[in-house]
């Protein structure tokens, strides 16, 4: 867990999935794609700490009160030789009222989780990772 690049989280709000629309800048990976909250590690953060910070920065949500449902390491999207962490969390219905989009991203959308799997313009690796969790193929939740 020490040498990882970053963390992404599929945030369920009630039974709907929060997706964010990435900026449309040619200098970033997956410009203009539908994404999940998360990003790169800073300092000595744990993967959960990275996701908690990124959620606060990107959409002003506090994940410390979320139910952490599942986590798994995967090859990092921009450097498959390194590791990235993927989490699935559930926030209570109504948490979307707290969302405030910061200076990253063009917007956000709540949708049924399975809809993300076929959403045009979604980050393909995140579709795959969410599909693994939805289909029950992932490992049991790990203590964090």
Mean predicted lDDT score pLDDT of the chain:
91
Q: 113 exposed, middle or buried (CB, 10 Å; 0-12, 13-18, 19+)?
A: middle
Residue-wise pLDDT for 2-26, tens only, equals 689 999 999 999 999 999 999 999 8
Residue-wise pLDDT for 113-128, tens only, equals 999 999 999 999 999 9
User: Residues 73-91: what's their mean pLDDT?
Assistant: 93
Sketch out the chain's domains with CATH numbers.
Answer: 4-134 (3.90.79.10)
User: Is residue 138's pLDDT more than 80?
Assistant: no
Say what the pLDDT of residue 80 is: 87
Polymer length in residues for the chain? 144
Question: For residue 33, how many other CB atoms are within 10 A of its CB?
Answer: 20
Residues ≥6 apart with Cβ < 8 Å to 18: 11, 12, 36, 37, 59, 96, 99, 108, 109, 110
């Amino acid at each position: 867990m020490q040498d990882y690049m970053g963390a992404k989280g599929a945030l369920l709000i009630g039974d709907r999935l929060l997706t964010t629309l990435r900026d449309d800048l040619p200098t970033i990976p997956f410009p203009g794609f539908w994404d999940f909250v998360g990003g790169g590690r800073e300092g000595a953060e744990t993967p959960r700490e990275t996701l908690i910070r990124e959620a606060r920065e990107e959409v002003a949500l506090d994940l410390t009160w979320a139910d952490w449902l599942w986590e798994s390491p995967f090859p990092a999207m921009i450097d498959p030789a390194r590791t990235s962490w993927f989490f699935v969390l559930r926030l209570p219905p109504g948490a979307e009222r707290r969302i405030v989009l910061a200076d990253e991203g063009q917007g956000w959308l709540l949708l049924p989780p399975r809809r993300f799997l076929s959403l045009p313009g979604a980050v393909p690796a995140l579709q795959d990772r969410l599909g693994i969790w939805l289909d029950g193929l992932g490992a049991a939740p790990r203590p964090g």
